[in-house]
Structure formats: C-alpha cells, structure tokens
Amino acid sequence: MVADLRHDDFLQAEPAGPLESSQNQPSAVLTVEKLALSLAGKEILQQVDFSLSAIGVTSVIGPSGAGKSSLLRCLNGLESGWTGGVKIDGNDIRQWPGGWDQLRRHVGLIAQKPLVFNTSIRANVCFGLHGWRQRRRADGLVKASLQQAALWDEVADRLDAAATTLSVGQQQRLCIARAIAIKPKILLLDEPTASLDPLSKQLIEQSMLQLAQQIPLICVTHDLEQAQRLKGQVIFMCDGRVIEQAASDQFFRQPQQIETREFLRWSVCDCD
C-alpha cells in the first residue's frame, strides 16, 4: 500500500532550482509548440503541439515507432537537436539556467528498464541531493521519497543494502523515489511498468496517482487499460505527430479522429 505521506514540505519549502515561475502564468505548466526532430535524415517528430495542466497524469499512447520516447527525450534535454518551442512555467527550456543538466533535475525521466546505481538503497535516493539544506534533511527526504514510491515498507530496515539486491519491480520504484527526491517540476515515465508483475504495476500506478496530485506526470504506455486507470489526459501519437488529445473518459468513449479509432479498434483486437 502507498503510504499517505505528502512530500509538500520539501516540494514547496525549498525551490527546486533557480527558476521562479513567470508572473501571470496560465495554468499549463508545460507547453510544446511545433516541436520537430530529425535523426539520421528521418523526421521523428513533426509539428508536435500540446500543453499540460499543472497536475495530473497525461498518458501518451500510439504504435511502436510513433515517436513517444523521442518526445520524452526532447522534453528533458536528452535530445537537443529539435526545433520549435518547449516551455515550463513559461520558461524556454533551451534557456534553462545551468543548461540541460539542470533541466534534467526538474524534468525527471523514468525508463522502462530500471537503472539503479551500484550503491546502497539510501545512496541511490540521495544521489541528486545537492547543498547543505537538502543533505541536512536527507533522512527525511529518503523516507518521504520511498514512501511516495510505495517502497518504504519493503526497505525501511535495509537502507544500506545494495540497490542491486532489490527485485526489478522494487528497483523501478527506487528509480521513482530517486527522481522525486529532488523535487522535479514534471516527471516523465517511459513504459514504467512494461515488464513488471501485476502487484508492482499496481504499486507504481498508485504512487503515480498520488504524485500526480502535486506535479504533472507524462506516462508513455502501451497498456490502454493503464491509461484509463490513470485517468487525466490521453495523447495519441502516430508517425511523429499528435493526432488527438482529450480527457481519458472522452478519449476512450468518443475518439474524434479516424486514426485514433483505427488504433483503438486494432489494439483491442490485438489483445483478444
């Protein structure tokens, strides 16, 4: 079960970084305008436009090769050769103070395959903590982050054990704890539960829903039922373009675009 502990105290008490929100900001914290990416002479993303509100989950679905992972990589600066505009709280991510490394502190990315460091569980969570204020509160941050990632109960008595001794599902939750310990403004998740057992999947979804009450999450998934469980918004991508974006209920009940309808019909048939 996910502990009902909010980490508002450190999400809010200490600004996550040097940027302050612009004055008179609209409610959207992330706006993407005409984002385009070419790699090896191939158009990977074309004119991608969407915006996210301040909290909640946005699921990104679409066929393999649609550009979903590439989109996430652009948003946290792992791909930098794109054109167009990406703003967080009105701030252009190309102008982020401290550059892409600092941006990645604010825009966490959880990959499909958990990447834990070959250190202790505690050290993994503390990895991104900088400055005396955060380090002084490290024990509290470790506990709060692990609780929010639904892992605390399983590791509370073995924080100094090697992170590599955890199961894959536990390692994925450790990666989430590490990402949220540094108070991201946005958390990106690329098929975070793709190869996990049902219980791990459920724990991570609960953790995401709890976290989404405080910050926006973007979750790429091939699991349409997961996209429905996560509620929020759904973005459907195909061939590097956003075809449709709508609230989850509306998206699955009344998809507007023919490509979306085809994809949903085909996906349901594929599951049978």
Note whether 67 binds ligand ATP by CB under 6 A. Answer: yes
Q: Which is nearer to Mg ion, 69 or 248 (CB)?
A: 69
Q: Which is nearer to Mg ion, 110 or 126 (CB)?
A: 110
Number of residues that bind ligand ATP (CB under 6 A): 12
Note whether 42 binds ligand ATP by CB under 6 A. Answer: yes
Please choose, from the candidates 206, 191, 176, 156, the residue with its C-alpha nearest in 3D space to the C-alpha of residue 68. 191
Note whether 221 binds ligand ATP by CB under 6 A. Answer: no
Phi/psi class of residue 116: alpha, beta or left (left: φ > 0; alpha: ψ in -120 to 50)? Answer: beta
Taking the complex as a whole, how short is the minimal distance between the CB of residue 32 and Mg ion, in angstroms?
17
Q: How far is CA 50 from CA 34, 93, 164, 230, 272, in A?
A: 9, 15, 38, 19, 32
Note whether 77 binds ligand ATP by CB under 6 A. Answer: no
Query: How would you label 195-212 residue by residue, b for 16+ Cβ within 10 Å and e otherwise?
Result: ebeeebbbbbbebbbbbb
Note whether 70 binds Mg ion by CB under 5 A. Answer: no
Chosen from ligand ATP, Mg ion, none, partner binding at 156 (C-beta under 5 to 8 Å by type)? none
Taking the complex as a whole, how short is the minimal distance between the CB of residue 79 and Mg ion, in angstroms?
13
Region binding ligand ATP by CB under 6 A among candidate stretches 36-44, 153-161, 177-185, 194-202: 36-44
88 in Cβ contact with 107 (< 8 Å): yes
Note whether 68 binds ligand ATP by CB under 6 A. Answer: yes
Rg, Å, the chain Cα set: 18
Please choose, from the candidates 183, 213, 189, the residue with its C-alpha nearest in 3D space to the C-alpha of residue 201. 189
Which helix (H) or strand (E) element contains residue 108?
strand 107-110
Taking the complex as a whole, how short is the minimal distance between the CB of residue 163 and ligand ATP, in angstroms?
25
83 in Cβ contact with 257 (< 8 Å): no
Note whether 69 binds Mg ion by CB under 5 A. Answer: yes
Note whether 70 binds ligand ATP by CB under 6 A. Answer: yes
Region binding Mg ion by CB under 5 A among candidate stretches 47-55, 63-71, 124-132, 260-268: 63-71
Q: What's the one-letter identity of residue 74?
A: C
Chosen from ligand ATP, Mg ion, none, partner binding at 104 (C-beta under 5 to 8 Å by type)? none
Among 18, 65, 98, 99, binds ligand ATP (CB under 6 A): 65
Place of tokens 């490394």: 101
Please choose, from the candidates 106, 86, 101, the residue with its C-alpha nearest in 3D space to the C-alpha of residue 20. 106
Q: Which is nearer to ligand ATP, 78 or 162 (CB)?
A: 78
The residue ranges that bind Mg ion (CB under 5 A) are: 69
* Interaction site with ligand ATP (CB under 6 A): 39-40, 42, 44, 62, 64-70
